[in-house]
């Protein structure tokens, strides 16, 4: 319990900074909707671009940009990428930081096992990520209510946000647990940021490639971001095949983290 509280306290300022930055970014993007709608973006001529390219970058339905759901679904995908980076960084730093900063000696002086260390850190960081995600989604929903077009259904918007909240939560937890697995293999957190960025962008690119051609569609399953893509969730609801893939990855990486960390030679 002491380690759980310590972990939460360590990330308190980081959590606050991320919430503020994402909230301001979301507000800025959503506040542009009325002006963008008046510009008639749905009338943009994108015929010169291949349909596969438009699909890969979620621009195949330009008419949807005239609604708050369609506009938010497209713009918020970039916030989803940032969310993946945040959760991956939490996981990648979690275990390696103790060795890098020399605090593993303090943990060893406590009556706590390696498995308890991993479990406490997983629960604490999952709570930190969940807090960030729920607050971010509540703020995003309120922002959409303020700037929505006349006649937009609040109940439909709420339902869409509820589905996106769940899908995005699973996405973040997946990146978090993959980050934990990487952290269990590292002895220093110096490369944590670069690994987190590489992990998220690599999987995002795999998703883009998977949508460019049907032969590569299987690559989409390696992209947690695509499992929670706002435009897709708002249009088709939750894609449970992608969610189940994320849950399998989440479960396996969680078990592997315990296994590797228990057998790891720690630098005390």
**What are phi and psi for residue 108, nearest 5 degrees?**
-65, -25
**pLDDT at residue 63, rounded to an integer:** 55
**pLDDT at residue 50, rounded to an integer:** 56
Residue pLDDT tens, the chain, 268 long = 578 888 888 889 999 999 999 999 999 989 888 877 766 554 455 555 556 555 655 565 555 677 888 889 888 988 999 999 999 999 998 888 877 776 776 776 777 888 888 999 999 999 999 999 999 999 999 999 998 888 888 999 999 999 999 999 999 999 999 999 998 888 777 777 788 889 998 988 888 788 777 777 888 888 898 888 888 898 888 989 999 999 999 999 999 999 998 887 766 5
pLDDT digit string, tens, across residues 11-39: 899 999 999 999 999 999 898 888 777 66
**pLDDT at residue 64, rounded to an integer:** 63
Domains of the chain: which residue ranges? 2-262
Cα–Cα distance between 43 and 62 in angstroms, integer?
A: 7
Token pair belonging to 211: 């949508």
Token pair belonging to 217: 């569609």
Question: Is-contact 192 94, C-beta < 8 A?
Answer: no
**pLDDT at residue 268, rounded to an integer:** 53
Token pair belonging to 75: 């713009």
Cα–Cα distance between 227 and 221 in angstroms, integer?
A: 8
**pLDDT at residue 15, rounded to an integer:** 95
Q: What angle do CA 202, 175, 70 make, to 5 degrees?
A: 75
Token pair belonging to 30: 């959503």
Token pair belonging to 103: 């605090």
Query: Sign of the CA dihedral 106, 250, 89, 168?
Result: negative
Token pair belonging to 243: 């969610």
Would the pTM of this model clear 0.75, i.e. be above it? Answer: yes
């Amino acid at each position: 319990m002491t380690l759980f509280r310590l972990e939460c306290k360590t990330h308190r300022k980081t959590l606050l900074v991320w919430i503020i930055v994402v909230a301001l970014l979301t507000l800025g993007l959503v506040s542009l909707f009325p002006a963008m709608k008046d510009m008639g973006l749905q009338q943009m001529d994108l015929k010169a671009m291949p349909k596969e390219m438009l699909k890969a970058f979620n621009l195949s339905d330009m008419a949807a940009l005239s609604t708050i759901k369609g506009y938010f679904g497209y713009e918020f995908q970039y916030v989803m990428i940032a969310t993946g980076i945040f959760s991956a960084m939490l996981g990648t730093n979690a275990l390696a930081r103790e060795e890098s900063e020399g605090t593993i000696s303090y943990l060893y002086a406590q009556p706590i096992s390696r498995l308890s260390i991993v479990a406490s850190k997983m629960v604490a960081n999952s709570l930190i990520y969940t807090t960030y995600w729920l607050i971010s989604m509540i703020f995003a929903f309120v922002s959409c209510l303020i700037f929505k077009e006349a006649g937009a259904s609040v109940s439909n918007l709420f339902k869409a946000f509820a589905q996106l909240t769940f899908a995005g939560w699973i996405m973040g937890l997946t990146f978090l647990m993959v980050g934990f697995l990487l952290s269990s293999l590292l002895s220093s957190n110096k490369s944590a940021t670069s690994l987190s960025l590489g992990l998220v962008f690599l999987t995002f690119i795999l998703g883009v490639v998977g949508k460019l051609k049907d032969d590569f569609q299987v690559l989409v399953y390696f992209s947690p971001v695509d499992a929670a893509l706002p435009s897709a969730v708002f249009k088709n609801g939750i894609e449970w095949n992608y969610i189940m893939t994320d849950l399998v990855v989440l479960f396996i990486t969680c078990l592997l983290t315990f296994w590797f960390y228990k057998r790891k030679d720690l630098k005390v």
